[in-house]
Amino acid sequence: MFIFLLLLPLLSSFVSAQLPLPRPPFQPADPSAGAVPSSGTPNPQWISLLGNLLYFYEAQRSGKLPSTNRVSWRNNSALDDGKDAGLDLSGGYYDAGDYIKATYPLSFSLMSICWGATDFGKGYDLASQTAYLDDMLRWGLDWLMKAHPNDTTLYVLVGSTELDDAYWGGDSNLPTPRPSYQINNTYPGTDAAAGASAAFSACSNLYANRLFNTSSYASATLQNSSYAQTLLNHAQTLYTFATNARQTTYQTSVPAIKESYGSSSYEDDLALAALFLSRASESSDLYRDAEAYYDKYELSKQNRVFNWDSKGPGLPILFAQVAQSSSKTNGNFSKWQIAAERYLDDIVNGKSQGYMTKDGLLYYDGDSDSASLNPALNAAMLMSRYAPMASTFDKKTAYLKFAQSQVDYALGKNSMSVPYVVGSNPNSPQNPHSALASGGNNVSTIDTSPKEEAYVIYGAVIGGPDKFGRYFDLRSDWPQTEVALDYNAPMLTLAAMHVISDNKDPFFTALQDGAYEKVKPKGLPCDAAFPEGCNGPHLSKGSKIAMGVVITIVGLTIIGLITYYVYLVSTRKKRAFMGP
């Protein structure tokens, strides 16, 4: 017995150990390979895209990099994070094109990826990317556990947003100080605590192999019961913290995060946390709690976009999945099927609060302005996830068709001929807004120094085109070119699904080098970085002069015709008056 107790920590470490990484490691191919058609099942180009999308997260790592690091131009960074709080908060991921670490959007990203890998995880297996999925998830989840050092404390921000916004440079000399901000019982944050709980529960489900309907979905094979239980423990304590502390949005306690990732509500986070936890613990009480939140806070009215700040549209779909998969929760599948289809039908039939741009992107004024692809790709992800549960074959077909149109758009079937995933094709973005990859060191010369991006941040999904469908490829144009953890999340799930089910190439293989240059727009974008460009497409100076000349000539012609008409009328009146 004594020997067993001595061996227990070793055994526990063994069962919670992550999957061994491939040798030799996967490395992204040159972008030129994305213009070459492929064949085979699973499709090689979808496999490559899935690998690249995961690779992006490795490029976003903070802390001491492991010996298995594949991104040669990255360095150890922010090793002292958390020291001001007496903790080790090094590690984790930089949130976007800069160097802060923000728990709320990280939690959403991890939740979304784990949910997707529970649905379509077989795609990671077929692509030999499951070990990298495991590696990527643990890098985020292990940090999130460090950020939750006790039951009623969660660190929600590391870094100074003001210093970070003013810094444009590499990862070796980040500006300091990098303060650590927490929520707790005295200064709570319901949304952030509930959001982190949902992430832990969703990922616990994945590692415990708690599938949804197995006839429709196939999880990734990275099951690990010990790790799943550890994640579940954090999920439960965070949910208790979220429900027992004074309920408020977390930026009321941590104003420093307001401009970057301020939350608009906490009610949807509570419902999501309760729902994922109900599945993880097979609890009918938690399922009823989630339904109560949904009804009490009228979350059916949260029917615009699904993203880090708005979980409402995804709730009916998750409710339906849990009700269909677990008899213990006593869920009403038909109720949630109706609710899910009401939301999805409105999008497909053009009756939602979004609209289709002229070149085919689902767009929501306001929500899409700072990252146009994200709402569309999240909608495509929800539709692809729900389609197997659709009430009719026609609805299933319509959802999959619409989802495919948005995936195709993001991968190059758009008016710019740009696949909006860095490194996937010669026409992919060349100048993403990434301080890590740019090679520049002066924010005032962000677009010109260096002339070409120093490093290719493979697999990064960028913000996307403006509402007119135009893409300008400017580093300073952060709404169009910035990279972010949550931008990649829906595309990961969609790519995994395509590895499983699609033997056709992604659209970008049809695009040859130079396609974007032929249609690259002039003038300025229309977005928050360039509001002066929002009066529609701009003409060049020569075109304006030519237009002015044409208008002048047309105007003089019209005046001449009017004068001649008046002359004729007056002449006829005189003749009529004078008689023959």
What local confidence, expressed as pLDDT, does residue 541 receive? 42
Residue 488 and residue 564 in one domain: no
Whether 507 and 501 have beta carbons less than 8 Å apart is answered as no
Q: What is the mean pLDDT of residues 185-195?
A: 98
What local confidence, expressed as pLDDT, does residue 157 receive? 98
User: Quick one: pLDDT band at residue 17, thresholds 50, 70, 90?
Assistant: confident
What local confidence, expressed as pLDDT, does residue 231 receive? 98
Residue at 21 is within a domain: no
Q: What is the per-residue pLDDT across 384-397, written as a single tens digit (0 to 9) for each?
A: 999 999 999 999 99
User: Would you tell me how many other CB atoms lie within 10 Å of the CB of residue 552?
Assistant: 10
Which amino acid would we find at residue 297? Y
Residue at 543 is within a domain: no
Residue at 6 is within a domain: no
User: Quick one: pLDDT band at residue 218, thresholds 50, 70, 90?
Assistant: confident
pTM: 0.90
Q: What is the per-residue pLDDT across 68-113, written as a single tens digit (0 to 9) for each?
A: 999 999 999 999 999 999 999 999 999 999 999 999 999 999 999 9
pLDDT above 70 as % of the chain: 89
Catalytic residue list contains 162: no
Residue at 165 is within a domain: yes
Residue at 387 is within a domain: yes
Question: For the chain, how many structural domains are there in total?
Answer: 2
Residue 554 and residue 447 in one domain: no
Cβ-proximal residues to 203 (8 Å cutoff; 6+ apart), any chain: 110, 111, 114, 137, 141, 231
Residue at 319 is within a domain: yes
**Where would I find the beta strands (DSSP E) of 348-473?**
355-356, 362-363
Domain that holds residue 557: 549-575
Residue at 18 is within a domain: no
Q: What is the per-residue pLDDT across 439-458, written as a single tens digit (0 to 9) for each?
A: 999 999 999 999 999 999 99
Average pLDDT, the chain: 91
DSSP lists the bridge partners of residue 158 as 101, 180
User: Quick one: pLDDT band at residue 559, thresholds 50, 70, 90?
Assistant: low
Question: Is residue 131 predicted with pLDDT exceeding 70?
Answer: yes
Q: Look at 367 and 567; give whichever has higher pLDDT.
A: 367
Residue 554 and residue 507 in one domain: no
Burial class for 106, CB neighbours closer than 10 Å (0-12, 13-18, 19+)? buried
User: Quick one: pLDDT band at residue 535, thresholds 50, 70, 90?
Assistant: confident
Residue 571 and residue 506 in one domain: no
Residue 444 and residue 565 in one domain: no
97 closest CA partner among 428, 433, 388: 433
Structure tokens at 555: 């105007």
Q: What is the per-residue pLDDT across 536-550, written as a single tens digit (0 to 9) for each?
A: 544 444 444 444 544
Q: What is the per-residue pLDDT across 480-489, written as a single tens digit (0 to 9) for each?
A: 999 999 999 9
Residue 76 and residue 208 in one domain: yes
Catalytic residue list contains 282: no
Q: What is the mean pLDDT of residues 507-517?
A: 98
Residue 569 and residue 483 in one domain: no
Q: What is the per-residue pLDDT across 296-344, written as a single tens digit (0 to 9) for each?
A: 999 999 999 999 999 999 999 999 999 998 778 888 999 999 999 999 9
Residue 526 and residue 554 in one domain: no
* CATH number, domain with residue 82: 1.50.10.10
Residue at 22 is within a domain: no
Residue 441 and residue 556 in one domain: no
493 closest CA partner among 46, 61, 27, 69: 46
- Check 289, 466, 477, 482 and give the catalytic one: 482
Cβ-proximal residues to 562 (8 Å cutoff; 6+ apart), any chain: none
Residue 511 and residue 555 in one domain: no
Residue 449 and residue 473 in one domain: yes
- Check 473, 477, 486, 527 and give the catalytic one: 473
Q: Residue 158: enclosing H or E segment and its boundaries?
A: strand 153-158
Residue 150 and residue 89 in one domain: yes
